[in-house]
Structure formats: C-alpha cells, structure tokens
Chain A
C-alpha cells in the first residue's frame, strides 16, 4: 500500500528533546541528542543494534531516567513530572513492544480490556465491548478475541500489541522494532498498519527500526542514530544520499546492492 501524504503540523511539537544523554555504567549510549516530533508525523529512528534506539523511547515513556538533558512530551517535562502526571501522560502514549509483551495469562479480549478498565473509570460493559471490537477490527483480528497469546502467530501478536495500545486512543505512538522477526509479507502488513493507524487515529509516531523497508514505507522523516547522536535527519532519500562510511553499508546491506 502506497503511503498517503501525512497531515503534519510543523508548528506543533508533541515531543521536544534537548541535549539528552544516557549512560549504562561507563558506556555512553546517547550523547546529547536533540529531537522534535511534530503533530501527525511518523518519525523513523534508524540505527544499528545497541545504538540506543530502544533506550530513547524508554526515556520518552518515562521507563528510564536520563542522565542529562530535557524531554518534553505532550507538554509534560519528564524531569520533574509527578507520579500521577506520569500515569496520565502514559494513557496518551501508546508503546508497542518489540516482542509484543502480551499478557500470557489473559485472552486477547482481557489483554485489550486491561488498560481500558483501569484508566477509564465508570466505563460500562457495552462501551468496553465496543472499544475492544473496534480496535480488533482496525487491526483485522476480530476472530482472535477469545484466543490466548500462545495461540497467535508472531504477526498476529504484533497486531494485538498495537491494538492494545490503540484502545486508549493515544496521541503519540512509540513502536519498538515493529517488524523484527517477521517474514517479508507480514512486515509489509505491519508497515501498512502503522500508516493506517497514523491516518485513522491521527497519531504522531516514533518508529524504532533497522529495517529500511519499514523506514521507507512508514517514515515521513528519518533520523539516523550513530555513535549516540543523530548524524543525519531528513527524508529517506536525503538521509542516504551520502558517502558517509557509517551510513552507506547500512543502506547497501538492506537493499542488497
């Protein structure tokens, strides 16, 4: 499916990161990065394994604390955010995990209901059912509603993981390696789903990946994370129009030149 041109509002930043640094023991993963995510934009963060891509979205979601720098998400400064505010913010963020992180002991329905009933006080049974069927229809997996996660394929698990985040109508989506470990056809389906989510739910997204097909088909803008900093930012073609030895092999390998 061809990517539809997104309606991006360049005047409104939903995420603003300045001078962000994070180290683990003596290893500096992120070394003072700056980043803006605009309203309605799909930003792809590309980088090699261990380059700090996942650390970046864990910092954005408040799962990790930065060593230096500031992160502003949907108007909240994470440096001095209170626990209650962080919880509120998280209901407006959708986090799709690399391995889907579905709750093993619950059915698909219970997985989807879990965040909903705990964040929408006084929601009726009818509203819950409607929300569950709506998101399952959006990801094309209504038939799996009573299945256990162990009965689903890798692609289905990814879709249900995305559906679970969509149930709270998030404004920002964070995808951690959405196509990792999937076959090429399922990868295309997931890429299409990411674009569909952007159109249908009007989300702004950060997509962490090292899959260039995913980057090309989902990203409105690409940011290349190398040596703990964004070395190149722009459209897909702009990022790879370079003779930089650190960027070229990445492109050559993915497109098997």
Chain B
C-alpha cells in the first residue's frame, strides 16, 4: 500500500507557530525528496512513454520558441550596445565579439532560457497537472490500473530536461546574432570574422558548463512544475497556487543552481 499514501495530496495544515512551520518545511522537503526519488525509480524502467515524451518536448519547445527568439535577440543586441562604451574607453572595441561570446555562452543563454521556460513551461505544467488533480483525472488514471506518475510526471520532466538544453543552444545563437547585428552596424565586422572571435575565447569547460546548467535547469523546471501540480490541493484556488508556485520556486532554484555550478566550474578551472 506504499503507493497509496504517495499519490494522495499531502495535508497542508494552517498553523503559524514556528515549530509547526519548521515541521511543515522539513516534511515538505521530505516529500520533495520522495517525489524526485520516485521519478528516478520510474522514469528509466519499461514500459516507456516515448510518444508522450516527444509530444511534451514539442509542447515545451513550441511554447517557448517565439519568446526565446525575441528575448534572446534583444539581450544580445542590448548587451553589445551597453558594453561598447566601456571597451571603447580603452580602445578595445575589437574585443567586443569575445566579450559578448563569453557572457552569452557562459551565463546568459542557459539562464535566460531557464527563466523564460520557468514562466511559460513551469506554470503551464503546474496548472495542467493541478487541474487534472482537481477534476479527478489523475485519480481516474490511478484506478484504471495505469501509472499516472509515469505518464504525467516522468514524461514532462524528461521533456524539459531534454528540450531546455536545445533551447539554450538556440538562445545562444540568436543572442549572438543580436550582438553581431550591432557590431556589424558600428564596426562593420564581417560574419566570418565575428564568428572566429566568438569561438576564440571559449574552451571545452565553457561549453560543458553551459550544457550542464541547461540540463539541471530543465530538470528543475520540470520537477518543480510537476510537484506543484501533482500535489495541488483541491479547488480552483489550488490550480492557481500550483501554477504560481511552479514559477516562483523554479526561478529561485535556477538562481541558486547557477551560483553553485559557477562555483564548481571555477574550482575545476584551477586545474
């Protein structure tokens, strides 16, 4: 009967005493731990829901594509424009493509992608699963002998984990194009020369670091959205809270993870 307790929404009692709040915080942490463990236990065991994973990848990609294109391009353009005066003061305008490249590839591309996906994808996962919980659709899957966790949670988490790195690569490219447009207008640098300077300062660690970040961010967005939705409390208010909780928690965790990964990479770079 282990599965029974884990599929029912946890009781969220209202109690304001510090001890109770601490107790609630730690029990929430424990539930999250169980949720993540369950994901790893179920995601890589057959039968696999390939069709649903592909559908979810498509959903994640399509939902964020336009926003990422516009935001990425503008960020590249503005960043280049704002950085120029500082470099110009030292007569180092020619370093602009390298600066833009390092900023975008190391930090901005995965971070911007994750923040946009938190808003678009995380909230949508939270709301969708929350409304499924409220309208008993998850219970209906459970009592029909199927595994809703595998079908709803594993597929979505895998989809965000796989798709967000691809979107981050796209963001990097589109941001560089924004930067190139600005540099071309002002310095007249050719595309080939720009690209040579873009890749010159980058090394293997930079690329791996960005990819790892995007994978971790993607996993976080998926798992947080699913957790908030899957265990949303009854009622329409619960759906709203699930969507909101998914965005806020995912964004917060993305920043924390960014700091941790940068610190670890900094440590690795010393060797």
Contacts and interface: CB of A to CB of B under 8 A. Distances in A.
Q: Answer yes or no: are A and B bound together in one complex.
A: yes
Interface of A: 61-65, 78-81, 83, 86-88, 90-91, 93, 95, 97-99, 101-105, 114-115, 118-119, 164-165, 168
Given A63-B4, A64-B4, A87 B143 contact: no
User: Which of A61, A63, A64 has the most CB atoms of chain B within a 10 A radius of its CB?
Assistant: A63
B187 interface: no
A86 B147 CA distance: 12
Nearest to B55: A105
Contacts of A95: 140, 143-144
Contacts of B47: 118
Interface centre among B1, B135, B139, B143 (most CB of A within 10 A): B143
Contact of A61 (B2, B131, B141, B143): B143
Interface in B111-134: 128, 131-132
A129 to B, nearest CB: 18
A119 B140 contact: no
Interface residues of B, number: 23
B5 interface: yes
Nearest to B128: A105
A99 B135 contact: yes
A102 B145 contact: no
Contact of B145 (A65, A90, A99, A101): A90
B136 interface: yes
Contact of B146 (A64, A93, A99, A119): A119
Contacts of B5: 65
Nearest to B150: A118
Contacts of A103: 132, 137, 140-141
Contact of A99 (B7, B131, B136): B136
Contacts of B131: 104
B145 A118 contact: yes
